[in-house]
């Protein structure tokens, strides 16, 4: 069977739209989805329903479940949460699988492996290491606000959480916003001597859950000899070849270590200009912080020197490169006619005006020399505590959680994560929301979170006075 279009519509030409009924509940008329055997899906499956409408506005979690049961042959059940809609199978259909159904990211699961279910808010199975505070003993903070209805109060919510735990003399490492839920990551192991029941059970109308850093394992950056570095090959021909004109996602490398011969690869970011008209290429500082000098090479250390790292943006991991004379850079993504599902904008136009508080479920794309296009969905905001190498000068950095889906269109990102550091993450309108920052490698969290990465917010460049060229 030929691959379906990039947006597979079901039961005719239904657009992706809210229901017209006053209470946004489902009606049976026109809601049934044809039970057809599909061996290939596009990134989006459209239905008459818009699952991105908040639960409280559509009076329920599942919109006409019988219709949704017929989207995939062999579906045994559906579980919808704020972040994901999960389809249960004895045997899932052939890949590739879609990224979103009715606008919401989807997750397909074999019911024989129930512990792979759900999002961070899913407490169906106690193996998922989340802990809930007690409504009897834990306080409710910012009762006068509704964070779900007004995501612009994200900074206020964070400052309130930070102030509470500073007052309690409890170290927190991370705060995650997941729609109706807030997940707070503690630096110490949860045990009976530090009862979670005394922590906030709710902030601004959002339930609070708790986990620890030990339950989150991030992929670390290391200096890996290129000849020993195994990664999933890009679908682009000659993707690691030299380019006359640099662009987002092309291969970069540090200089070689004079003793070991090792070096680090990463990807180009974007070309920016400051208020004085000085232009710089953004990169990930991880790719150059331990190199013997600040020189940046393309495509590898045997290639040409294209510039040098001259500055960095706080603790964000974003560094600025002054390009060498004669080097050119265009803020245009790769174009690849071999991948019909990949429809990049002609150019990256600007930094997103609200990269941190933009609504959930925004489709985004990241593309690099090592990975090819990686489709994804912008989910909740994450604020993570970072420090200098000596553990001092802590700073809280904003990220966006990007859910990249399961297999099919995307190879597991841990296969090539060292090669994609610094790559821009952008919308189909060409707005940059962030830059690849970190990925989960393992840990006890459920599979959907492992199939994700964090993108450091582009707002730091905007606040520093930089614009896209």
**Tens digits of residue pLDDT in 217-262:** 554 333 332 222 223 333 443 456 788 999 999 999 999 888 888 8
323-378 residue pLDDT tens: 999 999 999 988 765 444 556 677 999 999 988 877 678 888 888 887 777 888 89
Burial class (CB in 10 A: 0-12, 13-18, 19+), 218: middle
Q: What is the structure's pLDDT at 124?
A: 33
Tell me which residue of 370, 365, 348 sits closest to 252, measured CA to CA. Answer: 370
Look at the block and give the residue holding tokens 């993504």: 333
Residue corresponding to tokens 């994450």 = 382
Average pLDDT over the chain, rounded to an integer: 74
**For residue 179, with 0-12 CB atoms within 10 Å meaning exposed, 13-18 middle and 19 or more buried, which class applies?**
buried
Alpha-carbon gap, residue 266 to 370, rounded angstroms: 9
Q: For the chain, what percent of residues have pLDDT higher than 70?
A: 67
- In CATH, what class is 219-378+397-469? mainly beta
Q: What is the pLDDT of residue 238?
A: 40
pTM: 0.80
Residue count (the chain): 469
Beta strands at 452-457 and 431-443: parallel, antiparallel or unpaired = antiparallel
pLDDT digits (tens, 9 = 90+) for 99-135: 888 888 888 877 554 444 444 334 333 334 556 665 6
Could you tell me the two tokens for 83? Answer: 């972040």
How is residue 252 written in tokens?
């970069």
Residue 7 or residue 151, greater confidence: 151
Q: Which residues pair with 272 in a beta bridge?
A: 280, 468
Segment 419-440 mean pLDDT: 88
Question: Domain extents for the chain?
Answer: 1-112, 131-215, 219-378+397-469
Task: Tell which wins on pLDDT, 105 or 77.
Answer: 105
SS (H, E, C) the chain: CCCCCCEEECCCCCCCCCCCCCCCCCCCCCCCCCCCCCCCCCCEEECCCCCCCCHHHHCCCCCCHHHHHCCCCCEEEEEECCCCEEEEECCCCCCCCCCEECCEEEEEEECCCHHHCCCCCCCCCCCCCCEECCCCCCCEECCCCCCCCCHHHHHHHHHHHHHHHHHCCCCEEEEEEECCEEEEEECCCCCCCCCHHHCCCEECCEEEEEEEHHHEEECCCCCCCHHHCCCCCCCCCCCCCCCCEECCCCEEECCCCCCCCCCCEEECCCEEECCCCCEEEEEEHHHCCCCCCCEEEECCCCCEEEEEEEEECCCCCEEEEEECCCCEECCCCCCCCCCCCCCCCCCCCEECCCCCCCCCCEEEEEEECCCEEEEEEEEEEEEEEECCCCCCCCEEEEEEEEECCCCCCCCCHHHCHHHHCCCEEEECCCEEEEEEEEEEEEECCCHHHHCEEEEEECHHHHHCCCEEC
pLDDT digits (tens, 9 = 90+) for 198-216: 899 999 999 898 887 776 6
Integer CA distances (angstroms), 66 to 28, 53, 73, 101, 171, in order: 9, 19, 12, 15, 46
């Amino acid at each position: 069977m030929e691959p379906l279009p990039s947006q597979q519509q079901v039961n005719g030409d239904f657009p992706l739209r809210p229901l017209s009924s006053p209470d946004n509940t489902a009606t049976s008329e026109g809601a049934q989805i044809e039970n057809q055997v599909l061996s290939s899906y596009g990134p989006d499956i459209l239905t008459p329903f818009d699952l991105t409408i908040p639960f409280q506005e559509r009076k329920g979690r599942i919109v006409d479940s019988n219709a949704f049961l017929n989207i995939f042959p062999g579906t045994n059940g559906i579980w919808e949460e704020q972040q994901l809609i999960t389809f249960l199978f004895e045997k899932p259909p052939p890949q590739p699988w879609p990224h979103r159904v009715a606008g919401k990211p989807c997750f397909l699961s074999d019911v024989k492996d129930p512990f792979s279910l759900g999002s961070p808010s899913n407490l169906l199975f106690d193996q998922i290491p989340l802990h809930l505070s007690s409504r009897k003993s834990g306080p409710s903070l910012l009762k006068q606000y509704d964070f779900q209805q007004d995501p612009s109060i994200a900074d206020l919510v964070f400052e309130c959480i930070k102030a509470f735990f500073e007052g309690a003399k409890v170290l927190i490492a991370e705060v995650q916003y997941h729609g109706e839920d807030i997940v707070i990551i503690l630096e110490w192991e949860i045990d009976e001597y530090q009862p979670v029941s005394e922590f906030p059970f709710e902030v601004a109308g959002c339930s609070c859950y708790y986990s620890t850093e030990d339950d989150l394992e991030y992929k670390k950056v290391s200096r890996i000899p290129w000849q020993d570095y195994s990664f999933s090959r890009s679908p682009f021909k000659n993707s690691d070849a030299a380019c006359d004109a640099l662009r987002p996602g092309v291969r970069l490398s540090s200089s070689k270590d004079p003793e070991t011969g090792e070096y680090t690869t990463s990807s180009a970011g974007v070309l920016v200009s400051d208020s004085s008209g000085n232009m710089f290429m953004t990169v990930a500082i991880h790719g150059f912080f331990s190199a013997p000098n600040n020189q940046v090479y393309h495509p590898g250390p045997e290639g040409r020197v294209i510039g040098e790292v001259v500055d960095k943006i706080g603790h964000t991991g974003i560094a600025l490169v002054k390009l060498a004379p004669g080097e050119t850079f265009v803020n245009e993504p790769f174009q690849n006619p071999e991948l019909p599902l990949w429809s990049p904008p002609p150019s990256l136009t600007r930094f997103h005006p609200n990269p941190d508080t933009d609504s959930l479920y925004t489709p985004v794309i990241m593309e690099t020399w090592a990975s090819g296009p990686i489709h994804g969905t912008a989910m909740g905001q994450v604020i993570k505590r970072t420090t200098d190498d000596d553990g001092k000068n802590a700073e809280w950095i904003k990220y966006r959680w990007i859910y990249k889906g399961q297999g099919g269109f995307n190879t597991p990102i841990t296969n090539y994560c060292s090669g994609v550091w610094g790559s821009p993450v952008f919308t189909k309108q060409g707005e940059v929301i962030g830059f690849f920052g970190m990925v989960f490698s393992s840990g006890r969290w459920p599979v959907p979170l492992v199939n994700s990465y964090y993108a450091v917010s582009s707002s730091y460049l905007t606040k520093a006075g930089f614009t896209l060229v």
